[in-house]
Amino acid sequence: MAKNFLRNKVSDFIWFKEVECPCGCCKKGNIVYLPDPGVVSLFDRWRMFVGHPLLIISFYRCVDHNMKVGGKVDSLHLSAAAIDFHDPTSEITETYLKHLDKIIGAGGLGLYDKEGHFHIDCGHLRGLTPGRRWSGVLR
């Protein structure tokens, strides 16, 4: 059982297929990436807190796909250190956001109001300002 777990899953709540670039380049076998354990831990802690599945929209991105979606040149998605996700079950209230903010802590947290998506990252472990928060529009 452990062998299958290690082959198919990054953590209790993240499958390797959810980490792959949305463009499909990872399936061609020419892309090697390692999910950042810091952002995996942040996501798993939030998933345990809410108690239901979260939909990962974007984790790792290759350079081409990142450019196509309008990502920053130095995006943490390029090194699998950021996750964009949607919570299809919860109502996004001030209380929800306060809890998420507390769990993410020093990591980066972006809320894309119009789409109802979140971005979390562990950029603070890579020299970015701790506790970065923003609201914006996904492209």
**Quick check: pTM over 0.95?**
no
Q: pLDDT by residue (tens digit) across 27-74?
A: 776 666 789 999 999 999 999 999 999 999 999 999 999 999 989 999
Check if the beta carbon of residue 42 is closer than 8 Å to that of residue 14.
no
CATH of span 2-135: 3.30.1380.10
Domain residue extents for the chain: 2-135
Q: Report the alpha-carbon distance of residue 134 to residue 112 in Å, rounded.
A: 8
Return the bridge partners of 110, or none. Answer: 119, 134
Q: How many CB atoms lie within 10 A of CB 44?
A: 15
48/11 Cα distance (integer angstroms): 12
The SS3 of residue 56 is: strand
